[in-house]
Amino acid sequence: MSFTQRRNAVTIDIEALNETFASMDFEDRIRKLYEYFPVEEVLFTSSFGTKSVVMLTLVSRANLRQKVHMLNTGYHFPETLAYKDTLQELTGLEVVEIHPDSERHRLTEESQMWDSQPGRCCHYNKVMPLKAVKAEHTVWMSGVHSYQTMNRAAMEIFEEVDGLIHFHPLIDITEGEFLYLLEKDKLPRHPLEAQGYGSIGCHHCTRPGQGRAGRWAGKDRDECGLHVK
């Protein structure tokens, strides 16, 4: 049986999982996940942005065998790449970079697609490359927070989308709880936070601003498409 056939054959009670995990603290949720799914079937992604370090730290405590995948769009700030190296050393997690198709990436570069068609630029450099990797896993774990966007406010701890289980262990964390965990463990912040960046993506589409206000400034967007159903 192929991996895809095996994944499709698995029947998961999402409602039961949400009930079981709801009362757990954030680290216990992540640790508990591996009682249901082997680490090889869990895809964990991180942007290595301003909200990443807490999730990465909790995952490293729960299972050091968990790899963390990063979408390297070719448009990251140098500070983000340096921060990735810092957090990889801090957590001990292996980082696997996902790159877009070279031809599609070239098209976004030559046409400055991030300005004229930001949705398509995100699709070529983020959504499409990740889609191929998602097909190889049963669970996609990410560190989204409900307060970040209207779209994320509607998410649950577990959801099933197109046959893939989405796991959001920090979905109900508050900004206060996030800051407490950050300060309690004296975790390093993204270097651009000190310059007023509340959220950080590709350098063309990121400006200083509170929360995600600096993302796709003037483009009426607050999501790249990865976490949109």
- Quote the pTM value: 0.86
159: closest CA among 140, 134, 146, 131? 140
* Residue pLDDT, tens place only, 114-171: 888 888 998 999 999 999 999 999 999 998 888 766 767 878 999 998 889 999 999 9
**121, 122, 205, 224: which one is catalytic?**
224
* Residue pLDDT, tens place only, 200-227: 888 888 877 665 454 545 555 445 446 4
Helices (H), 26-156: 26-36, 52-62, 78-91, 102-110, 113-116, 118-122, 128-134, 150-153
Decide if pLDDT at 198 tops 90.
Answer: no
Enumerate the β-bridge partners of residue 71. 98
* Residue pLDDT, tens place only, 41-98: 999 999 999 999 999 999 999 999 999 999 999 999 999 999 999 999 999 999 999 9
Count CB neighbours of 152 within 10 A: 18
The answer to whether 81 touches 107, Cβ cutoff 8 Å, is no
Rounded CA gap, 189 and 177, in Å? 16
Domains along the chain with CATH numbers: 3-205 (3.40.50.620)
Rounded CA gap, 202 and 206, in Å? 6
Please state the separation of Cα 58 from the chain's center in Å: 14
Active site residue 121: no
pLDDT band at residue 15 using 50, 70 and 90 as cut-offs: very high
